[in-house]
Amino acid sequence: MRPTKYFTPTEVSLHNTLGDLWVSYLGKVYDLTPLVNEFKGDVLLKPIIECAGKDISHWFDPKTKDILTHIDPLSGCVKYYTPRGRFVHVPPPCPRTDWTNDFGRPWWRDTQYEVGLLSVKTRWIRIINTLTSQEQGLEVCSEETLNEILQRYLRYNSHAASYTWKHNCVNLDMSRTLEANGIPDEDEDFYNTRMDRDLFSQSICLYFNDDLTEL
């Protein structure tokens, strides 16, 4: 079983093209690129393409995890509610000979498209390299451990594992989250006091261990 990976809404929003299409809904992130390739050119892809890189939780009933339904005023039958238009795997409003339901699971119930979880709350931190005096702001998921945050930071410093990570001169437990390490999320306080988050967000200091490691 592969470990759970968290994504920020910003990361999801970057996957917004026909060749790389992600969406999020009900707390999970899905890569629908294979679905788009399978139904390439089909007009039923239009609502999905229009929402590429966005959260579409409002399409679903959080209890049933199925598409929202409504009572059709003409037929009096329960039907899927798709105000943006019918999309792939949603049956037509009336019986048709050119539509079959032998595709198995509809895409919104198919776990093969799932790539991870959407962070409930993201936060910004500052990572300061005491060896080079470089400072980097980083948006991270509040659910992530320091080891997972280290993976995010590797793009800025490929030797990040060769440093001891500290906050207020205390060594951090890399297997725990920021909150569990005593680094509170102060975004609400910044908002209420109108303080600049970029200037006052919590910082983590990196101290070089002199054992060059590259991940």
DSSP string, the chain: -PPP-EE-HHHHHT-EETTEEEEEETTEEEE-HHHHHHTTT-GGGHHHHHTTTSB-GGGEETTTTEE-EEE-TTT--EEE--TT---TTPPPSS--TT----S-S-GGG-GGGEEEEE-S-EEEEEEEETTTTEEEEEEEETT-BHHHHHHHHTTT-TTGGGEEEEETTEE--TTSBTGGGT----HHHHHHHT--HHHHS-EEEEEE-S-----
pLDDT at residue 192 is higher than 80: no
Q: Last residue of a domain, which of 80, 99, 116?
A: 116
Q: Last residue of a domain, which of 116, 134, 159?
A: 116
Q: Last residue of a domain, which of 101, 116, 131?
A: 116
pLDDT of residue 201: 81
Q: How far apart are CA 68 and CA 11, in angstroms?
A: 26
Q: Are residues 62 and 49 part of one domain?
A: yes
pLDDT at residue 20 is higher than 80: yes
pLDDT of residue 187: 73
Q: Domain with 152 in it: what CATH number?
A: 3.10.20.90
Q: Are residues 154 and 90 part of one domain?
A: no
Q: Are residues 144 and 183 part of one domain?
A: yes
Backbone angles phi, psi at 108, to 5 degrees: -75, -5
pLDDT of residue 189: 72
Per the prediction, the chain carries an average pLDDT of: 91
Number of domains making up the chain: 2
Residue 147 resides in a domain: yes
Q: Are residues 110 and 50 part of one domain?
A: yes
pLDDT of residue 202: 87
Confidence of residue 96 (pLDDT cuts 50, 70, 90): confident
pLDDT at residue 2 is higher than 70: no
What is the mean predicted confidence (pLDDT) over 22-42? 97
pLDDT at residue 212 is higher than 80: no
Residue 212 resides in a domain: no
Q: Are residues 91 and 24 part of one domain?
A: yes
Q: Are residues 156 and 96 part of one domain?
A: no
The string of pLDDT tens digits covering residues 101-116 is 888 899 999 999 999 9
Q: Are residues 190 and 136 part of one domain?
A: yes
Range of the domain at 17: 4-116
Q: Domain with 61 in it: what CATH number?
A: 3.10.120
Residue 161 resides in a domain: yes
pLDDT at residue 3 is higher than 70: no
Q: Are residues 88 and 23 part of one domain?
A: yes
Q: Are residues 109 and 8 part of one domain?
A: yes
